[in-house]
Amino acid sequence: MVDLSRALAGPHAGQMFGDLGARVIKVENPTAGDDTRSWGPPFVGPEDDPQATYFFSCNRNKESIALDLKSDDGRETLEKLIARADILVENFRGGVLDRLGFSTARCSEINPRLVILSITGFGHDGPEAARAGYDQIAQGEAGLMSLTGSGPGDFNKVGVPIADLLGGIHGVVGVLAALLERERTGRGKVVRTSLIAGMVGVHAFQGTRATIAGEDPQPGGNHHPSLSPYGMFRCRGGAVQISVGNEKLWQRFCAAFDLDPSAPGMETNSARVENRPQVTAAIEDAFSAYEPEALLEKLETAGIPGGIVRTLQQVYDWEQALSQGLKVSVDHPVLGEVDLPGSPLRFFDVDASGERETTVTQHAAPPLLGEHEAVIRSWLED
């Protein structure tokens, strides 16, 4: 895979392919490399060679070559890479690759089996195709911020660049489908997605509230707009989250905490949604006698799904997260051994004797700028 992308959407897609076992060659400009190499703080490492932790979040399992694509050598080297590639990922603004001499038609001419993933901000066509796409702008434009916040009118972005991340993830899904089709046709394809498409693609039930019911959903804080009780509730010294998703659980929940399941305003889910302040007050009054850990134990005993809100440091120390491979160690040439968030996927072979895990557990650190240039150029000359 040739990764021409920078920032987050395309690099996240490239990292996913690297996690899946692809050889990912990241092409960077020789002056400063990927934009995220300078995004900070935080920076870590020596003062004369600071490393941006942002770059580390989306570039493991890649090799780096620095190419000036406006030079003859840069264009010739990229052409050789394309000729050998299965996938090319780019997230330039529309027309940039064409001006460099690498339009989709030209890339397909070089390698008819090439699958091209193009990620833009607003889509490659339509009346606003030329707009620059950045995550928070896309979160606002595509409606996600209108759903996120403490209450009506209090619009907030998600705490991670979710538009970028979902643009990359949707792109990977499209590429995998195109690779499968290539097995039948022998030809590659162009897969296009955008930050706003990724956002609309996860509207889920909020989207159908708008398209079918004619509603315009507003931020609802930490409570589900269609279920009650489902959300975060205060208790003594903290808070817990509960998910009471059906009437059977509601009956069980009320029995555990001496609540009347058929009290006025609480007898059905619809009634509880309509009377949410009343329900929340009753539950938080019942929870006030418990500290979080004791409350979670009681919920577990009653069979009610519950949890706490962990900080990221707590997540990366959590035995359950560690058991799922969600933290990995890599050896970086400047920083030495560092920990990174792990891949969300695990793989198993299955036969009559059962399952045998085949998940890759050894990962390469995000590369230094141009770190693999000699290796890549030598391979291209073979």
Cα 282 to the center of its chain, rounded Å: 37
Residue 164 annotated to the active site = yes
Per DSSP, which regions of the chain are E strands? 2-3, 25-28, 43-44, 51-52, 63-66, 87-90, 115-120, 189-194, 230-235, 238-243, 306-307, 327-332, 336-341, 348-351, 354-357
Residue 369 in tokens: 């700028």
Task: Report the alpha-carbon distance of residue 253 to residue 55 in Å, rounded.
Answer: 45
Decide if 175 contacts 117 (C-beta within 8 A): yes
Of these residues, 35, 164, 260, 349, which one is catalytic?
164
Alpha carbons 323 and 218: distance in angstroms, whole number:
37
Q: Which two tokens stand for residue 200?
A: 């609309």
For residues 118 and 145, the answer to whether their CB atoms sit within 8 Å is: no
CA distances from 282 to 34, 55, 254, 266 (A): 53, 47, 11, 10
Question: Which residues are catalytic, by number?
Answer: 164
